[in-house]
A = this chain, B = another copy of it.
Amino acid sequence: MQPIASARVVDVVRDQLRSAILAGELAPGSRLSVPELARQLGVSRSPVREAVLLLVGEGLAVEQSRRGVEVARLELSDVLELYELRITLESLAAHHAAERMTQTDLAALRGVLDAQGAAAVGDARSFRELDMRFHEIVSQTCGNTRLARHAALLAREMRLAGPLMVNEPWHLRRSHEEHRTIERALRQRDGPAAENAMRDHLSRVCQSVRHHHNSTL
């Protein structure tokens, strides 16, 4: 029996808005009009306003003074900032995760990777979803709740950078191989190896994004 979580309207609205933003239905730059969203969702403005505020706190939206809130727009520089932070935080998380992951966690991780191996052939959309899940599992099992929370925030924020990401199949396959390397280190409970593998992985992806951007200018 898990405690019946709060079925608060504000939570539902927040989750819906977040999903819509991350799915691209609310594109970066879209204005988030509280009355409009309240009408569409069939609730009053109060919970919508709070939900929008929470999204601002998560970095998924930004408020311009007196002109409302819009979905955050990420430049290349923002993505590089995010990668730099993810590199440090997630490699630290991987180190600890190697020493703390349960068999259940490892099984879940392998399941995600198997599914990702299948998606790597061409389904970039579900590949990204599974990539997210992979990193989330590692961060969540590191034992430091704040580290997990901040890493999750950064990973989510990065998903706003859709068009800047590299989606070529060979790139997805390479990412997947690196995930396998990380998973191997985690399974062997080799903290330093997991840390290095995670750092190498994210660093390489960051470099790819940078070069991809330069070459598609």
A145 to B3, CA, bound (A): 38
Interface positions of A from 39 to 96, Cβ below 8 Å from B: 50, 53-54, 57, 59, 65-66, 78, 81-82, 84-85, 88-89, 92
- Cβ–Cβ contact A144 & B84, under 8 A: yes
Known: A50-B53, A54-B53, A57-B54. A85 touches B150 (CB 8 A): yes
Given the known interface contacts A6-B66, A66-B6, A150-B150, the answer about A144 and B53 at a Cβ–Cβ threshold of 8 Å is no
A-B contact pairs, 19 of them (CB 8 A): A3-B65, A5-B65, A6-B66, A50-B50, A50-B53, A53-B53, A53-B54, A54-B57, A59-B146, A78-B146, A81-B144, A81-B145, A81-B146, A81-B147, A85-B144, A85-B146, A85-B147, A89-B89, A146-B154
A-to-B contact residues, CB < 8 Å: 3, 5-6, 50, 53-54, 57, 59, 65-66, 78, 81-82, 84-85, 88-89, 92, 144-147, 150, 154
A65: chain B residues at CB < 8 Å are 3, 5-6
In the bound assembly, the distance between CA atoms of A53 and B66 in angstroms comes to: 20
Q: Using Cβ atoms and an 8 Å threshold, which residues of chain B touch A81?
A: 144-147
Contacts of A53 in B (CB 8 A): 50, 53-54
Sorted nearest first, the 4 A-B pairs with minimum C-beta distance are A57-B57, A6-B65, A81-B144, A81-B146
B-side contacts of A59, CB under 8 Å: 146
Q: Is there an interface contact between B82 and A146, defined as CB atoms closer than 8 Å? A: yes
Q: Given the complex of chains A and B, what is the CA–CA distance between A12 and B5 in angstroms?
A: 32
Cβ-closest chain B residue relative to A146: B81
